[in-house]
Amino acid sequence: MHCDPRFSRVREVFERHFADGEELGAAFAVYLDGELVVDLWGGVADRHTGRPWERDTPVFAYSCTKAVTAAVLLQLAERGLVDVTAPVAEVWPEFAANGKAGITVEHVLTHQAGLPALEEPVPVEEFEDQPAIAARLARQAPLWEPGTAHGYHALTYGFLVGEVVRRVTGKSVGELVSAEIAGPLGLELWVGAPDPVIERTARLTAGERGRLVTTETPPPGAQPDGEMADGAAADGAVADGAAAGGPERTTEAVAEMTRLALDPGSLMNRALGNPAMNLLKGGANNPVILRAGWPAAGMVTTARGLAGFYRALIAGEILRPETLQDALRPRVKGPDRTLYLGTSFGLGFMRPSMTFMVRSPSAFGHSGAGGSIGVGDPERGLAIAYVMNKMASAISGNLRGHRLLQAVYDSL
């Protein structure tokens, strides 16, 4: 392991999480101005066998995938192959059905398309057939007028963007990640892992039972409209669905999210639960899921690989600086129709909000179920990633990543 002395506080926080029993296995990596200053890993990759977490142990990182998928599409836009302001139906004619002719690629990237959930249950047989799943979305009508509201497209984001990519290039997002990003840059990052990688992938395990499962976590003091409260505690506790000591409306917002999470018919659960990974033995640990490469939640990566992706992004090695700058301009901000809490998005990238727990206004990236997170911060020259295999099943659980991020910023 490596930790620059300037970031000793980060190592202390990382080790404390293990000492306190909050982690099973995890890794954390930080680049500062292109230099790898933190590269930490530890614990157990598989609690059943006791296999240790090694330097090159990858893990499934859920929605952290979305940022990588956005980069793939933006590369195509730079080459003139995709116009993000144009209707999706220009490259995917069938998509125009049921009142969707006006939905643009930008609507999809910013969760404004009105298609946050698949209406038809996706059978297991289609889990590795992304065009078939996309065809189901092409038959649907939007739940709201596209462009008038936003709601997190937890899984459908990937099938929609992936089909646009496939129609333009004939290749999957995963194939382009390998050929255009991970391969040339030497990153330990796969959207659709090959069998040798699957064999050494860490096995996800559940956290505490009986508490709310969420995709992203509100930092203490966050506001439901997507803003951070002034003076919010950096490492305060959020427990049992309420922001301890936070503003009253934050408590109410989180309580409402809790209620929605416990309602099987809520839009939140419909968005998160179809295709249903739990239909397969082991859920996200199943090789079918690890191979499938869903562009919204299908990435297998190390912390070093994910941080390296953000290092390359802010260095201009994946996208031109002007392309990234435009992509980071927030297109939507405020209450999210799917998650209820505040979200903010540029073109596929999360911006600081109640559901993206980064205090720096120049930060961007994406978080994922269970607590994983990837962050880039151009103004500070930072690229950061945290991955783990003990899934947070309480709102408070994702504070592991938040504490590590705060320790990085405190160390500067």
Query: SS3 for 348?
Result: coil
CA distance 341 to 58: 30
Structure tokens at 384: 């950061």
pLDDT for 287: 98
Report DSSP state, residue 174. Answer: H
For the entire predicted model, the pTM comes to 0.89
Handedness of CA 70, 76, 81, 85 (dihedral sign): positive
pLDDT at 233: 26
Pairing of strands 2-3, 25-32: unpaired
Backbone angles phi, psi at 51, to 5 degrees: -55, 130
Q: Spell out the residues 6+ positions from residue 368 whose beta carbon is closer than 8 angstroms to its own.
A: 61, 62, 63, 64, 65, 215, 216, 297
Distances 120 to 71, 96, 134, 268, 397 between C-alpha atoms, Å:
29, 18, 12, 16, 32
Domains of the chain, each with CATH number or no CATH: 2-411 (3.40.710.10)
How many residues make up the chain in this entry? 412
Q: Does the pLDDT value for residue 227 go beyond 60?
A: no
Residues labelled as active-site residues:
63
Backbone φ and ψ for 56, nearest 5 degrees, come out as -105, 20
Region 289-304 average pLDDT: 98
pLDDT digits 0-9 by tens, 229-241: 222 222 222 222 2
Residue type, 325: Q
How confident is residue 340, by pLDDT bands cut at 50, 70 and 90?
confident
**Window from 275-284, 299-308, 329-338, 395-404 with minimum mean pLDDT:** 395-404
* pLDDT, tens digit (0-9, with 9 covering 90-100), for 258-269: 777 777 888 999
At residue 283's C-alpha, the angle toward residues 277 and 289, to 5°, is 65
* Residues facing residue 202 across a β-bridge: none
Indicate the burial class of 359 (C-beta count within 10 angstroms; 0-12, 13-18, 19 or more). Answer: middle
Contact status, residue 139 vs residue 97, Cβ threshold 8 Å? yes
What is the DSSP pairing of strand 299-301 with strand 332-335? unpaired
Residue 195 has pLDDT above 50, yes or no: yes
- In this prediction, residue 252 carries a pLDDT of 73
Task: Give residues with Cβ within 8 angstroms of 184, minimum separation 6.
Answer: none
State percent of the chain over pLDDT 90: 81
CA distances for 227 relative to 254, 341, 359, 377, angstroms = 14, 10, 10, 18
The answer, yes or no, to whether residue 83 has pLDDT greater than 90, is yes
Tokens of 200: 């050494």
Residue 257 has pLDDT above 80, yes or no: no
Mean pLDDT of the chain: 89
Contact 184, 92 (CB under 8 A): no
CB 328 within 8 A of CB 239: no
